[in-house]
Amino acid sequence: MRRRLRKPALALPLVAFVLVSFIAPILLMLARGVHQPVVRDALPETLAILDAWDGLGVPEEAAFAAAAEELRAADEARLAARIGGRVNRVRSGLRTVIVAGARTGADGAGAGSARERLLAADPAWGDPATWRALRTAGERFTLRNYLNALDLDRGADGAVVRQPEERRVYVPLLLRTLGVSAAVTVLCLLLGYPVAHVIARAPARRARWLLLAVLVPFWTSLLVRTTAWIVLLQQRGVINDLLVWLGLVDDAARLTLVYNMTGTLIAMTHVLLPFMVLPIYSVMQGIPPRFMRAAESLGATPAQAFRRVYWPLTLPGVGAGALLVFILAIGYYITPALVGGSGGQLFSNMIAFHMETSLNWGLAAALGGILLAVVGALYVLYERTVGGENLRLG
């Protein structure tokens, strides 16, 4: 018994390593999507007063006093702008209001009541909406990021409503990403199936050379392949030059093949094609040619033999390849970022945008959570149909 247990235990170091170095960072980031303690920790008293407030008129004097005092302290700790940023996400334009409030508080009590001072700093402090935004930003646990990630928001009465039309971005983008992934999968299947077939039927020597055509791109750096597609697809790139030289395209009307969705589709199909070819190829290798010959000798036309015999036999490979390509395509980042321009960006690029540029980390985490759920569901499907341990690497 002890000896039996010893060997499965060998998996433990890697399990622990992956949990700590990979899974824990992801889980902690996802937590940022629902857990936002910064404002609550900096303004505990103000928020306690606001929790009891009905949200209708301007809050009582005590709220102003607490806000002025706590914001002043936050400013000294260099937190005022960060709080302003959080509130600004709830209601645009409040960053400066909060920061101005924090700076006035520092002038001391001599300049009138807290209410007067804050109102002097910015009249927006007299607007109940400012206080409601502050209260919302102060929720320690919130579903707001997930709502926003689904193009929803809470109205003034707390009911869930759809975002105004011009701000509905994420759901269309997710659908677009799914659509692109599906298109890439279909393209890969259309291109990959014949390739796998040719290699599987070729004599061993030639098959090895043909396989190289699949494996060399597979091993070549992703950035190299993406660069290559920019070079090929540019307005003055190789393909356009060739088309102009052949007289198929007018020099003045060169095709726009890159920095748009076309570029993303072409480059992603190329990058993911080996992931389709290899599983199909390995299944085809196991199909004896005599099956087809038998079908044809029994009177089937080649088309029938293909449809009734060959295709069903290759389905496991097709399924494995298609699912793998689809899963990898959904999370694609580098290729769209480099060749996609503004029209060819995918869901991952939006996550990166909120991570790096808008710094709305809570929203980035929520978007990440949604993407992860989609990928997770697809992986479970893959695991059920193909088996996780059957993942092959060419």
Partner 1 sequence: MEGRVARAGRALWLAGTGLIFVFLIAPVLVIVPLSFNAEPYFTFTEGMLRLDPEAWSLRWYEQVAFSGEWRGALVNSVVIGLGAALLATALGTLAAIGLTSPGMPARRVVTGLLISPMVIPIVIAAAGMFFFYSDLGLDRTHFGLILAHAALGSPFVVIAVTATLSGYDRNLTRAAESLGAGPLTVFRRIQLPLIAPGVLSGALFAFAVSFDEVVVVLFMGGLDQRTIPRQMWAGIREEISPAILAVATFLIALAVALLIVVERLRKRAR
Partner 2 sequence: MKGRRAAALLVVAGWSGTVGGSACGGPPAPGGSLTVVSWGGSYERAVTEAYIRPFAEAHEVAVGIESYNGGLAQVRSQVEVGRVHWDVVDLEAFDALRGCEEGLLEPIPPDFLPPGPDGTPASEDFAEGAISECGVGNVFYSTIYAYNDRLIQGEKPATIEDFFDLERFPGRRGMRRSPLVNLEFALMADGVARDEVYAVLDTPEGRDRAFRKLGTIREQVVWWEAGAQPPQMLADGEVVMSTAYNGRIFNAQALESQPFVIVWDGQLLDFGQKAIVAGTPNLENALEFVRFATSAESTARVSGYIAYGPVRASGLPLVSTHVETGVDMLPHLPTAPENERLSLRMDTAWWTDHLDEMNERFSAWLARSP
Task: Please state the closest distance from residue 335 (CB atom) to partner 2, in A.
Answer: 17
The whole-angstrom separation of Cα 345 and Cα 352 is 11
Closest by CA position to 310, among listed 207, 197, 206, 187? 197
* Of 190 and 231, CB closest to partner 2: 231
Phi, psi at residue 93, to the nearest 5°?
100, -5
Closest by CA position to 265, among listed 233, 238, 220? 233
Residues 6+ apart with CB under 8 A from 80: 71, 74, 98, 99, 102, 103
List b or e across 277-286, with b for residues whose CB sees 16 or more CB atoms inside 10 angstroms. Answer: bbbbbbbbee
The token pair that represents 332 in the structure block: 């694609």
- Unique residue bearing structure tokens 């999370």: 331
**Interacting residue with partner 1 among 145, 181, 348, 360 (CB under 8 A):** 348
Task: Please state the closest distance from residue 365 (CB atom) to partner 2, in A.
Answer: 14
- Stretch 327-356: interaction string toward partner 2, x if CB under 8 A: --------------xxx-x----x--x--x
- 222: partner contacted, choices partner 1, partner 2, none (Cβ within 5-8 A by kind): partner 1
394 CB-contact burial (10 Å; exposed 0-12 / middle 13-18 / buried 19+): middle
Taking CB under 8 A as the rule, does residue 342 contact partner 1? no
Stretch that binds partner 1, among 76-84, 88-96, 163-171, 331-339 (CB under 8 A): 331-339
Task: Please state the closest distance from residue 140 (CB atom) to partner 1, in A.
Answer: 18
Sites for partner 1 among residues 40-99 (CB under 8 A): none
Half-sphere CA count of 393, side-chain side, radius 13 A: 2
Element (H, E) at 13: helix 12-18
- 296: partner contacted, choices partner 1, partner 2, none (Cβ within 5-8 A by kind): none
Question: Considering CB under 8 A, how many residues would be counted as binding partner 2?
Answer: 36
Task: Please state the closest distance from residue 349 (CB atom) to partner 1, in A.
Answer: 8
Task: Please state the closest distance from residue 73 (CB atom) to partner 2, in A.
Answer: 13
* Of 62 and 216, CB closest to partner 1: 216
**Interacting residue with partner 1 among 237, 316, 319, 341 (CB under 8 A):** 237
Residue ranges of E strands in the chain: 152-154, 160-162
* Of 111 and 190, CB closest to partner 1: 190
Left (φ > 0), alpha (ψ -120 to 50) or beta: where does 341 sit? left
* Of 242 and 380, CB closest to partner 2: 242
The whole-angstrom separation of Cα 48 and Cα 53 is 9
Sites for partner 1 among residues 146-205 (CB under 8 A): 191, 194-195, 198
Sites for partner 2 among residues 63-102 (CB under 8 A): 75, 78, 80-82, 84-85, 88, 92-93, 95-96, 99
The token pair that represents 66 in the structure block: 């607490």
Taking CB under 8 A as the rule, does residue 25 contact partner 1? yes
Let me know the angle formed at the C-alpha of 42 by 40 and 45, rounded to the nearest 5 degrees: 70
Taking CB under 8 A as the rule, does residue 273 contact partner 1? yes
- Stretch 121-160: interaction string toward partner 2, x if CB under 8 A: ----------------------------------------
